[in-house]
């Protein structure tokens, strides 16, 4: 019997909106069958981040080798650093019938949409632009110049939400997580996704 | 400011699958903003059913007057009885920004699909045909002839699931309810439904 493939869930949104926080909360109590695809990056580790948990931390040279070998599903250079998704792991996990969760930048999500049009694309938005600026500032690890740069990029990124299936406001983290989990649950109930199972039932008619 | 309209949620599925049980469970602990649209019927009250709670119980004559006056969103005659949805209440409630939940027969759902193509159509299926027959028998209020008739109708109804957006298996009632609530939550996050709100946010860019 053909095994049902997993869903590719892509969480993205403007810089500073809190994608990482939301993703961590989701995986603090994950649904069975939901697997996080760890990104690779060439940016320096921030305090508290762990290699192989938050990211696979690479040097620029290592990252560029991965690009050349076609080992990335998507990648982007953002404020001077590379971010990308190792392809092999995603494919293998979907084939096993597990859902794969990507938390990636907007530019990368665009590349994934082209390669996996059936993916579920969720755009995380801030309650307001003012709140977004506050969050970027509060992170406290960036220079004034970087903050200004990030706000400009974020505004451009917000305009990309037309490419997404769902939009979730990240006002309260737990509430945003609840909505994202509901979206995943609902997508598993979409008729066109479970046609095989249904035909089996109808076969008895 | 334009108020966002509510969603029309339509739960249907073959006779005997347990639509009523699932609907009651959902409304035993309803989400704020979800309103049940009580159907009208000409069938006799079953033990435990209450007029104005389970159905508006009407005589055949009263029901036919409602049809003539165009007061029904949908109606169907099923195993000798009429079932239908009063239209005015549905329209008014959606305008108020509340979600309206209909639990109706398959034939009625088809009529609603034509009038409200943007509704969310959920099809409840049994785990198997054998289990469906068991449920119809266990109801214990029908004659052998009626049971046979209902099984034939149910098999035809199962073939209609192609018209639905979502399919939920009613194996365990609480699990089916959880999925239906997730579907409603997810649909509220669909980008195209919340375009107004998003444009307001983008207006700040």
pLDDT tens by residue, A130-155: 898 888 888 766 688 888 888 888 88
How far is the C-alpha of A168 from the C-alpha of B30, rounded, in Å?
Answer: 22
Residue A1 confidence class, pLDDT cut points 50, 70, 90: very low
pLDDT at B108 over 50: yes
Confirm or reject contact between B183 and chain A (CB < 8 A). yes
Residues A66, A40 contacting (CB under 8 angstroms): yes
A119 is annotated as contributing to ligand binding: no
Residue A164 confidence class, pLDDT cut points 50, 70, 90: very high
Residue A149's alpha-carbon distances to A61, A78, A142, A160, B101, in angstroms, are 25, 11, 10, 18, 47
Return the CATH number at A138.
3.40.50.300
Assigned domain for B42 exists: no
Assigned domain for B81 exists: no
In terms of pLDDT, which residue wins out, B79 or B51?
A: B51
Assigned domain for B107 exists: yes
Assigned domain for A119 exists: yes
Task: Give the whole-number percent of chain A exceeding pLDDT 90.
Answer: 63
Classify strands B81-86 and B40-41 as parallel, antiparallel or unpaired: antiparallel
Assigned domain for B83 exists: no
Confirm or reject contact between A155 and chain B (CB < 8 A). yes
pLDDT at B153 over 70: yes
Residues of A within 8 A of B131 (CB-CB) are none
Assigned domain for A179 exists: yes
Confirm or reject contact between B115 and chain A (CB < 8 A). no
Of B182, B189, B202, the CB nearest to A166: B189
Which tokens in the block code for residue A133? Answer: 């600026």
Residues B6, B97 contacting (CB under 8 angstroms): yes
Give residue-wise pLDDT tens across range B110-126: 999 998 999 999 999 99
Give residue-wise pLDDT tens across range A174-203: 999 999 999 999 999 999 888 777 777 776
Of A128, A155, A189, the CB nearest to B183: A189
Does the CA dihedral A142-A145-A146-A152 come out positive or negative? positive
- CA neighbor of B33 nearest in space, from B1, B2, B3, B7: B7
A18 is annotated as contributing to ligand binding: yes
Residues B133, B89 contacting (CB under 8 angstroms): no
Residue A199's alpha-carbon distances to A108, A186, B59, B133, in angstroms, are 36, 20, 40, 18
Residue A204 confidence class, pLDDT cut points 50, 70, 90: low
pLDDT at A72 over 80: yes
ipTM for the predicted complex comes to 0.87
Of A155, A159, A182, the CB nearest to B186: A182
Assigned domain for B70 exists: no
Residue A193's alpha-carbon distances to A145, A197, B162, B194, in angstroms, are 46, 9, 12, 24
Number of domains chain B is built from: 1
Assigned domain for B53 exists: no
Q: What is the mean pLDDT of residues B11-34?
A: 91
Q: Find the range with the poorest average confidence among A24-28, A98-102, A147-151, B25-29.
A: A147-151
Residue B205 is predicted with a pLDDT of 52
Structural domain range at position B15: 8-37+99-202
Name the residue in chain B with its Cα closest to that of A204.
B129
How far is the C-alpha of A18 from the C-alpha of A29, rounded, in Å?
Answer: 18
Residues B15, B109 contacting (CB under 8 angstroms): no
């Amino acid at each position: 019997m053909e095994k049902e493939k997993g869903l590719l869930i892509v969480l993205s949104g403007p810089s500073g909106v809190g994608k990482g926080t939301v993703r961590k909360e989701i995986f603090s109590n994950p649904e069975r069958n939901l697997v996080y695809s760890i990104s690779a990056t060439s940016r320096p580790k921030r305090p508290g981040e762990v290699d192989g948990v938050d990211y696979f931390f690479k040097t620029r040279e290592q990252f560029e080798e991965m690009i050349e070998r076609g080992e990335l599903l998507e990648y982007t250079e953002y404020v001077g650093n590379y971010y990308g998704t190792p392809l092999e792991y995603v494919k293998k996990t979907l084939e096993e019938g597990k859902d794969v969760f990507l938390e990636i930048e907007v530019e990368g999500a665009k590349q994934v949409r082209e390669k996996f049009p059936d993916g579920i694309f969720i755009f995380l938005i801030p309650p307001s632009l003012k709140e977004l600026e506050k969050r970027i500032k509060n992170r406290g690890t960036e220079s004034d110049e970087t903050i200004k740069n990030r706000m400009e990029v974020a505004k451009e990124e917000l305009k990309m939400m037309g490419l997404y299936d769902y939009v979730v406001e990240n006002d309260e983290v737990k509430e945003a997580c609840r909505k994202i989990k509901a979206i995943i649950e609902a997508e598993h109930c979409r008729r066109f996704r479970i046609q095989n199972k249904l035909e089996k039932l109808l076969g008895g008619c």
